[in-house]
Amino acid sequence: MDKVLTLGIDVGSTASKCVILQDGNKIVSKSLIHVGAGTSGPSRAIKEVLDNCGFSKEDMDYSLATGYGRNSIDWVDYQMSELTCHAKGAYFLFPNVHTVIDIGGQDAKVLGIDERGYLKNFVMNDKCAAGTGRFLDVMARVLEVDINDLERYSEMSTKTVNISSTCTVFAESEVISQLAQSTDRCDIIRGIHRSVAGRVAGLAKRIGIQDALVMTGGVAQNKGVVKALEEELGREIFTSPLAQYTGALGAALIAYEKCKK
């Protein structure tokens, strides 16, 4: 039988991610563009993922779009909520997962996963930037630090600095005031990570955490946040280098299941 190719597209609020899977188990191509819904990001990510492996849209046996901006991709075979896709992607990466913490660009979600990898329940913060990637993006800009370097700087922290405001706008003023007092940037960054961890831990405790606990989404790449969350929750958190692709990967996996049916 011919190889089955499925395309998963995750149109996030902040980034566009695509994954092409062969036979539901082998990643043949992936792409990531750092702009999301309402921008050229989704079409650029789709072009890149296809160009990377020399296939065209027509070569795909099934395409599935997920994420905040999934409705803008109208030519796909199916559109589906990112909650289901994240659950599926996390289960593929970590078959023993029971809780997923997903921190993306504009929201944070905690998902309960059953024994077969299906979504059981969830809680979500999409009302406020605190505890999301947006909070970190704003703070990184004020601190004139690249988002990729937050982790490295926080590791060099030697003193505890509390960022007490829960509102992003007030927290930004707090950071500016700390900088004006010549507080070490590394200590401020660790304080910012602890602030994000505090917000997300509060969310996670609302549905109850069951091991294995997995973190997905772009922010999972910042080990400073992962470590702060581990300290806050007193549990080990598993991450994958594919963390930001989890939704797109889940979409491609579900596309394969639909194709088989």
Binding site for ligand ADP (CB under 6 A): 12-15, 36, 67, 104-106, 133-134, 136-137, 147-148, 217-219, 221-222, 244
Shortest distance, CB of residue 132 to ligand ADP, whole angstroms? Answer: 7
Nearer to ligand ADP, 13 or 178 (CB): 13
Nearer CB in complex with ligand ADP: 63/244: 244
- Kindly state the smallest distance separating residue 79's Cβ from ligand ADP, in Å: 15
Min separation Cβ 213 and ligand ADP, Å: 17
In the complex, the smallest distance separating the C-beta of residue 37 from ligand ADP, rounded to whole angstroms, is 8
Report in angstroms how near the CB of residue 150 gets to ligand ADP at its nearest. 6
Tokens coding 179: 């900088």
> Min. distance of Cβ 219 from ligand ADP in angstroms?
5
How far apart CA 57 and CA 235 sit, in angstroms, is 42
HSE (side-chain half, CA atoms, 13 Å) at 123: 12
Q: Cα(first)–Cα(last) distance of the chain, in Å?
A: 16
Task: Determine how many CB atoms are found less than 10 A away from the CB of residue 100.
Answer: 27
**Helix axes of 168-180 and 133-143: crossing angle, nearest 10 degrees:** 30
CB-nearer residue toward ligand ADP: 13 or 168: 13
Are the CB atoms for 31 and 20 separated by under 8 Å? no
Whole-angstrom distance, CA of residue 185 vs CA of residue 179: 7
Nearest to ligand ADP of 195, 222 (CB atom) = 222
- The three-state secondary structure class of 56 is coil
- Please say which residue, 5 or 221, places its beta carbon nearer to ligand ADP: 221
**CB-based contact 145:185 (threshold 8 Å):** yes
- For residue 152, the SS3 value is helix
**Closest CB to ligand ADP among 27 and 259?**
27
